[in-house]
Structure 1
Amino acid sequence: MEQMRTAARRLGIRLKDDLKHSQALRNAQALALQTASWLSPNTVTAQLRAVTAFQRSESAQLWRWLGDARKNHQEAEASTSPPPSPSSSRYRSYLTQQSQLTRSIILKAPGDHGERGVLMVQFEYNWYRLLNGLNDLDALASQYDILWGTSWSPTDYLLLEAILSKTTGEIHVLPSHASEAAKLQAFHPRIQCPPVLSASDWVNPKFFTPKPHSERSTDILMVANWAPFKRHFELFSALRKMPADLRVTLIGQTEAGYTAEHIRKMMCLYRVPQQVTLLESLPIDEVTRHQCDSKVALLLSRREGSCVAAVEALFAGAALGMRDGAHVGSVQYIHEETGALLSGTQTATDLMALLENSAKLRPHEWAAKNISCHVSLGKLNGFLRDRSSARGLPWTVDLAPFHWRPYPTYSEPNAMERLQSAYDALHRRFPEVFSHDLGTTSHR
């Protein structure tokens, strides 16, 4: 009887996961919301439902159709009503803790003859802080090109709607998944997306010293917070069918109330035969050390943002395993040189094959050549230079080099000194949003 209850609990976890990530269900929800939008007598409610429908839509055909329907409806109504307010429940705690920006840095100071500065504002809760704290967002946007960095895919389109309503120029959004760039641009013609991802494309190879494969002491490493969307259960299910002497390490942290104790209970539920090491809230240098000491790094999320940990694993020289069909930005970097996609129906078999093949792969070499912060900086410079030229604006100074560790940080020691006057000017002008020490505390 106990065995049947255990099997039922495992099945329930998997069914809940399948329903949550069903594209067909998300598309059905989008269609239902769009229909409710058309039937709503309240203009603001109708707009809220239409934007949410667009965000929920999964297939390109559907979001293009929803985008056209939204545009045609707005033109027919010629509405002058304000956009629907973005739900503050998701961001209120951040605002309560601190009203000023975090994880945001100036990459270029404004120059002469109308040359625009560049300000990177990372993650949607900081978008909300900027929207909440500035009465005149366009005044800032007329002086700086703001890079709106996303944390998830899809991003928060209600926030984008609010940003569009408070600005008049181009909006530069850094997507967390390459496929979302077209969707973002279909949402509004003023949105432009640089050819780089929000967070994962900014890893600096100088922090990684990969061990030779034969000297690595960990077989499988998973760096992921303890929340359910990271899907530890699939690893535990696979481990039951794998050798008991495998050396497995999990590095994570509490997220949304889920703790390491939830993971320990789940391991008991799945009766994992290996001795799994759980490590929590490690400093970034310690995480890197474990990544450089692992043969295989694993990410099993079916949906999230770009996932920096996955790219860090590549720079650490670990073969990367991810779920086939996952809507995660860094999944595009998995190929014959870097790792393998796991089917989900035979995860244990796929994972063992990756482990056996890991010594032959060259993830560090490929990553350093193709997706380092240096490569991405060249792409972003080129994009912003071209956009400035298209608008008839000068571009005489390139962006300050930066990397992600574990949030945006300058790569050159004198960059902060060169940009300090720009930080001071923003603090004097908008003290409620820009702290006096943002440039040195952006990692908070």
Structure 2
Amino acid sequence: MASTIPSTATAAAGNRSVSDLYGSAVASLTARNPGLQGVDAQIRRDDARLSVLGRLANVLDDVRSVAGTLAASGLKLVPQVDGKAVDARITATGAAAGTHKIEVKQLAQAQQLSTVRMPSATTPIGSGAPTVVKIDTGAGTKTIRIGAPDNTPQGIAAAFKAAGVDAALASTDKGVVLSLAGQPGAANAMRIGVTGDPALQALLTWQPPAHGTVTQTRAAQDALVNVDGKAVTSAGNKLAGAIAGVTLDLKAVGTGTVTLAGDSADKGSAIARNVKAFAAAVNALPARLAALKTGDAAGDRMLAQAQDQVGRLMAGIDPAALAAIGVSAKNGRLAVDDATLNAAIAADPDRVAKLFANGGAGLADKVGTGIAQQLATGGTIANEATAVTKDRDALADKKTRLTQAVNAQANALVQQYTNAGANSLFGMMNGGRPPSAFDFLA
């Protein structure tokens, strides 16, 4: 590089701390390392794919849940909820008509931790030396590796997110604060151990009862619920089994009533409502999948395959039989004619119900089972997630090796720069010699 450094700048460099010099060298060497830049780009690609796969799984699981409700209830039961404390879905066999009293005394919640305030999202924290963060919870241990140039609040938050930890930066009038959230449930309270850079140890360590600089802003806790007079505890806010065949979605502290109404009470409207709910879930699928597209060929291909799979499952039911009850299937969508459906239910409710739920042979049975197979271990989505995770882990290892090489280069330059005597780079500069490449890096 054709440049010179003014004497005032040289003097200022001589007064910089070794930590500052090391951090500057690492940042500059990293920016000039095409291998690291390429690996970082591939890691970001894999993170985006994993995010799409996770959201795809959630979308498909919504459809599977509705299909499972129909299969479990045979379309002849529908949950009715009074109050804002709870919602309810039939998700398994065994549900029966009846009324249940629910009291939500406490919702499950995740622990939240906050660091001390830092100057900005891009301010380097510590020297950039390789650092290992281990987060222990009741679900196991997550290991996170941080080194320059990722030793900024922004880089630390990204590293936590990549490891599956909910991390966010909150801006204040004087800087930023890093917040970490765990999983709901008392057993999932976090303990954070840090080895490596002392500055990151001071920033991130959380080992109660010892108190460091991290603050707990919300404690992890279980949900406490009373169902028909029986106390129930849950690590999450979805509670299955407290009412046979029903999953309760806990919404707020308070009371409510869940009534499972059968067709003997509401003259077939449960079947009609369930058919329409299933059609609505299936019809919303194309738009929900389209919203997940990112332009990444592999990710978009997986979305198209998911839609095609649902379409093939729906094509397995006799279209004439569906048409006879007012339901038509075309291009992966279901159209429902209310008048024809209601007339078919009035004439033969069991016949209508069996088209959707019939011991695995109905439309809802097949769609629910087919989606469950995609989501299960060994299914297409699970296999893709495993492959992408494996690729990302390999890239992370490669990045670690490249980062270690950069750190070694930076350390060697710092040692050369700070050696005492006329033979050091600093001595050479004081003697009027041209500045070294390191001075441009730093």
Larger relative contact order, structure 1 or 2 (CA cutoff 8 Å, min sep 6): 2
TM normalised by structure 2 equals 0.22
Report the structure number with the largest CA radius of gyration.
2
User: Which is strand-richer, 1 or 2?
Assistant: 2
TM normalised by structure 1 equals 0.22
